[in-house]
Every structure is written in structure tokens, then in C-alpha cells.
A and B are shown apart, each in its own frame.
Chain A
Amino acid sequence: MGGAPADTGGTDEAPAAVVEAVFREERGRLLAALVRRFGDLDLAEEVTSEAVEAALTRWPVDGVPPRPGAWLMTTARRRAVDRLRRDQALAARLAILQAEADRAEPAPAPMPGGELPDERLQLFFTCAHPALAAEDHGALTLRYLAGLTTPEVARAFLVPTATMAKRITRAKKKIHEARIPFRVPGAQELPQRLPGVLQAVYSIFTEGYAASEGPRLQRLDLAEEAIRLARILRRLLPAGREVAGLLALMLLIHARRDARTGPDDELVLLDEQDRGRWDRRMIAEGLDLVPVALAGGPPGPYGVQAAIAALHVEAADLATTDWPQIVALYDVLLALAPSPVVALNRAAAVAMRDGPEAGLALLDELADEPLLRGHHPYPAARADLLHCLGRHADAAEAYREALGLAGTEPERALLRRRLDAIERLRAPGT
């Protein structure tokens, strides 16, 4: 991979479809290279769009050029230069910016074979810069690296378009006016900055894997976009073990997507999933990455989570799952990245290893965690264990609590089913 997809060039079939495929792959790269060159997100975005429009008009007539990425780049660059000629003031400012940027960091040498240099990594770090609000990192990444429109980004994060437009405008203004640089942090800073980038990608994935609210449980397009972005990151940072860990984690979770919902989009939990419907190719790819993430030093949180996901997919069923090792990995994770949600997951694993009583005791220790208040998996997990212990009245109450907190309809439906089952148990005569 990498470089212009030359194999799609020169064909006569459906140029519009080819443009779309090319554009999907090239847009972020194009935008990043233009931002790097002109230091201006707005200008880069406008000329990128113009280049694609030009391609949509020209390619059906002239055929798709042999190197579509380079064609788009040349076209976009010409448009940018035209604009700068028209706007002398902007040109002068950009010239200063460019001179400063070159002084700070010499421009990368052109790639051999005339391929486009890949400057997307810079853009990843800009979108997830700590000087920007953490909640905007995922949005900016979707907007500028995945090429979603603002309404699409708004839909992804379930906020009104106007709100998202305001947030993106504000962030863009800050990037421009506070001069947040387009650069990859140096080796010293990288360990601090990379988690922000990975978090941005993972937040896109989690929104896709389990939407926080709405009628549908999964938003597969978002999950796939996050995986695509992680693959790009992995190509750009091949030595990044946490990048490998994040990609592995997402692949191993996403491999279960078809089994996670039933025919009516209802939620199917791990213990009831048809494991034959898991995506074996994706699992194989994920499993290959886990050792990469874990080898050569203490593992990071994504690597450990990927290892946990690997143990789940390697087991034939819930009973033969290696729960002792999963609990041990949660202990490692808890030490690396302590959080009540991790503690909750660990408690559930302990319940599988040592029985519901032990799990429930751990859950009850978490009762006062403010972060778990309003988090429906907490009462739902309690309810399941109470149910196992035969404490049906308590279980019903916990299910009701979870029902009030769950954000998507499929989750609510599952909880309602469980609650109904318990209530039938409690009132056998009726």
C-alpha cells in the first residue's frame, strides 16, 4: 500500500466510482500536503474540493489519469497559487508562515517515484492537539482526515449540525490564530502526544461500536472509518506499538459486529452470540497484531485491551474462556490506566472466574464511583449477578435502574426482556 493507487488508473469503467475510491484514499493525504505547504486549513480544504470537482468533470471525458493522486495534487496546488495571486495580503502572510515553518523543520524530501509525500501524520497530531478541546479531537479527525462533511460529523457525534459547525469553526480559528503547528512531535514529546491521537480514533470507533443514544446500536460506517484511520496511522508509524494495539483491539471487537445484533437489530450479548458469524479474517489480522503490541517493553493500555479481546475471540465459548488470564490482564490494565469502568469490567471477569458472589462484592465496592453513576452497564452487571444468585427482587430493581439509563433502543429492549423474565419468575401464578 502507500502511494497513488496506480492500478485504478487508465480504466474506462465508471469514472465516478473510481473518483470516489481514489478520493477516499487521497483526500486526507492531499489535504495534509496542502496544509503543510500553505499553512491554511481553509485554503487547503477549498482547493481540495475544487480539484475533486475538476476531476469529476474531466475524468469522465478524458479518462482517469494514470496517477490520480498526483493529478489531484497538481490541480489543487495550481488553484491555491491562483488564489494567492489574487489575494496578495494572504500570500504575504503565508510566505512568512512558510519561511518560519521551513526554518523550524525542513520540508520532507520528495518521495522517490514521484509519489505524494504522506503528510497525514502531521494532520493527525494537529487535529488531536492538546490545546484543542478533547471533545473536538474526534470531530476534527473525522472532518479533516476522513473527509466527512460537517453535517456528517454532527450526525456521528449526535449533535445538531449548527453546534458542530460552531465547534469546528472555533477549533479551526484556534489552530489558525494561536498558530497550532502542523508537525509531528519530536521523539521526546511523542509519548505524551500520541495517546491523544489514538484516543481521537478510538472515540470515533466507540461511537460506532455502541452509539451513546439513538435507535440503532451500531454505526458500522463510523467503526470502519476508525479502523481505516488506524490503518493509516499504522502505516505512518510502523514502530508504534500502541498503534498496533489500538488497531488490533478495534479489529477484534469489530469482527463480532454481525453476531452482536439479531435480525431486528436487537442486542445479542457475548454469551449468546453465534461465534460462527464472527469475521475470521479480521480476527486473524487482529491476532497477528497483538504480539506486536505486547513485545519489546511494558505494554500500553490498548495493547492490554487487545490481549483481552484476543482471549475472548480465541475461546470456543464462554465456559472455556481463559477467565483467570483475563482477570490478570485487567489487573495490568487497572495499574496502567485506572478507571472505574475498567474496575467494572474486571469485576465481571472475576464473577466468571470465581462466581457471581465474588463479582457482586467487587461491584458493590464501586457503588460510590461518580463516574459510574448514570452508566447503565453498572446496574445491568449488578442485575445479572443478582439474578444468578436468585435475588430476583434486587435484580429487577437493578434492571429497572439500568433501563432508565440506557441510551439506545436495542439496549433498552434487552434490559426489558431480562426484566420481564425475572418478573415472570417472581409471579409464577399470574
Chain B
Amino acid sequence: MKYMLLINASAVDEDGGAAGCDVSDWMAYDKQVREAGILVSGESLADLVTATTVRVGEDGRRTVTDGPFAETREILGGFYVIDVPDLDVALDWAARCPGARGNGAVVVRPVAEFGG
């Protein structure tokens, strides 16, 4: 079963780390996830100021806008997709993620399975 761990950090410092942890914590966690053989994919997202939004209206016209910017306190800073047997295991991995510390939070979403 695949789960996406959405890493929401209240603020991202210059090293890309969330509050309460540093880059070495992230590297250690990343290594653990890889070595456990559960990693499907994972990325750290670039700074939110680089984000761009695209919407397509009913008339088919494209609107491109700068942002979004951090209007809420929590912003998506990165994600992992892991493949583990059940929610408890996914929650264990989420709890070990440095992004869950400080004011951060990790949201766990099961990936929908189609067919079968």
C-alpha cells in the first residue's frame, strides 16, 4: 500500500530545513527511508517564492499567476511516497520525519488504488 507523506513546515530556513531540525537530520531520514526499501519517490520542493499557479477557465483560456505565497502558516515543503503494509507503519515513518517536529506536520494520505 502506497502512502504519500506531505511535509508541511511552518517556515523554511535558508537550508531548506524546518524548525527543530537541520540538514543532517533530513539526510539521515532520507537514508533510512531508502535503506528500508520502502521509498517509491520523494522530493524536496524549492522555495515557495518560486511557485507559479495555472488555471484554465471555462473558455479554455489559461491564467498564469505568481504564487501562491504562504497565506497559511503551513506550506508544503516536500513529499515522500512510501510503500508499506498499513497505516500504522506509515504513521511510524511520518513520525520519524524531521518535518513533523517543531511547528511542522506531516499529513499521511493513502494513494488511491484503481483496478485490481
**Which A residues are closer than 8 A to B by beta carbons?**
89, 92-93, 100-101, 103-104, 129, 131, 177-181, 183, 185
Query: Contact partner of A131 among B1, B89, B91, B116, CB < 8 A?
Result: B91
- Please name all residues of chain B whose beta carbon is closer than 8 Å to the beta carbon of A93 when the two chains form the complex: 116
**29 A–B pairs (Cβ distance < 8 Å), ordered by A:** A92-B116, A93-B116, A100-B1, A100-B85, A100-B86, A101-B85, A103-B85, A104-B85, A104-B86, A104-B89, A131-B87, A131-B91, A177-B110, A177-B112, A178-B87, A178-B108, A178-B110, A179-B1, A179-B85, A179-B86, A179-B87, A179-B110, A180-B86, A180-B87, A180-B88, A181-B85, A181-B88, A183-B88, A185-B88
CA distance A103 to B89 in the complex (A): 13
Closest 9 A-B residue pairs measured CB to CB?
Answer: A181-B86, A100-B85, A179-B86, A178-B110, A180-B87, A178-B87, A104-B85, A179-B1, A181-B88
**Which B residues are closer than 8 A to A by beta carbons?**
1, 85-89, 91, 108, 110, 112, 116
Closest residue of chain B to A179 (Cβ to Cβ) is B86
CA distance A40 to B112 in the complex (A): 17
Interface centre among B86, B89, B91, B110 (most CB of A within 10 A): B86
- Please name all residues of chain A whose beta carbon is closer than 8 Å to the beta carbon of B91 when the two chains form the complex: 131
Closest residue of chain A to B116 (Cβ to Cβ) is A93
Query: Contact partner of B116 among A89, A101, A104, A180, CB < 8 A?
Result: A89
Interface centre among A129, A179, A183 (most CB of B within 10 A): A179
Interface centre among B85, B89, B91, B112 (most CB of A within 10 A): B85
- Please name all residues of chain B whose beta carbon is closer than 8 Å to the beta carbon of A180 when the two chains form the complex: 86-88
CA distance A179 to B112 in the complex (A): 11
CA distance A129 to B88 in the complex (A): 10
A125 to chain B, nearest CB (A): 10
Known: A100-B86, A180-B86. 16 other contacts (CB 8 A): A89-B116, A101-B85, A103-B85, A104-B85, A129-B87, A177-B110, A178-B87, A178-B108, A178-B110, A179-B1, A179-B110, A180-B88, A181-B85, A181-B86, A181-B87, A185-B88
CA distance A181 to B91 in the complex (A): 12
- Please name all residues of chain B whose beta carbon is closer than 8 Å to the beta carbon of A181 when the two chains form the complex: 85-88
Closest residue of chain A to B85 (Cβ to Cβ) is A100
Closest residue of chain B to A99 (Cβ to Cβ) is B85
- Please name all residues of chain B whose beta carbon is closer than 8 Å to the beta carbon of A183 when the two chains form the complex: 88
CA distance A396 to B88 in the complex (A): 54
- Please name all residues of chain A whose beta carbon is closer than 8 Å to the beta carbon of B86 when the two chains form the complex: 100, 104, 179-181
CA distance A178 to B91 in the complex (A): 11
CA distance A177 to B108 in the complex (A): 12
- Please name all residues of chain A whose beta carbon is closer than 8 Å to the beta carbon of B116 when the two chains form the complex: 89, 92-93
CA distance A180 to B116 in the complex (A): 20
Closest residue of chain B to A182 (Cβ to Cβ) is B86
Closest residue of chain B to A92 (Cβ to Cβ) is B116
B116 to chain A, nearest CB (A): 5
B89 to chain A, nearest CB (A): 8
CA distance A131 to B85 in the complex (A): 16
- Please name all residues of chain B whose beta carbon is closer than 8 Å to the beta carbon of A185 when the two chains form the complex: 88
Closest residue of chain A to B115 (Cβ to Cβ) is A89
Closest residue of chain B to A185 (Cβ to Cβ) is B88
- Please name all residues of chain B whose beta carbon is closer than 8 Å to the beta carbon of A179 when the two chains form the complex: 1, 85-87, 110
A105 to chain B, nearest CB (A): 9
- Please name all residues of chain A whose beta carbon is closer than 8 Å to the beta carbon of B85 when the two chains form the complex: 100-101, 103-104, 179, 181
- Please name all residues of chain A whose beta carbon is closer than 8 Å to the beta carbon of B112 when the two chains form the complex: 177
CA distance A324 to B53 in the complex (A): 66
B113 to chain A, nearest CB (A): 9
B83 to chain A, nearest CB (A): 11
Closest residue of chain A to B91 (Cβ to Cβ) is A131
Closest residue of chain B to A193 (Cβ to Cβ) is B88
- Please name all residues of chain A whose beta carbon is closer than 8 Å to the beta carbon of B88 when the two chains form the complex: 180-181, 183, 185
CA distance A181 to B87 in the complex (A): 7
A204 to chain B, nearest CB (A): 24
CA distance A181 to B84 in the complex (A): 12
CA distance A324 to B91 in the complex (A): 45
CA distance A100 to B38 in the complex (A): 14
CA distance A180 to B112 in the complex (A): 15
CA distance A419 to B89 in the complex (A): 57
A42 to chain B, nearest CB (A): 17
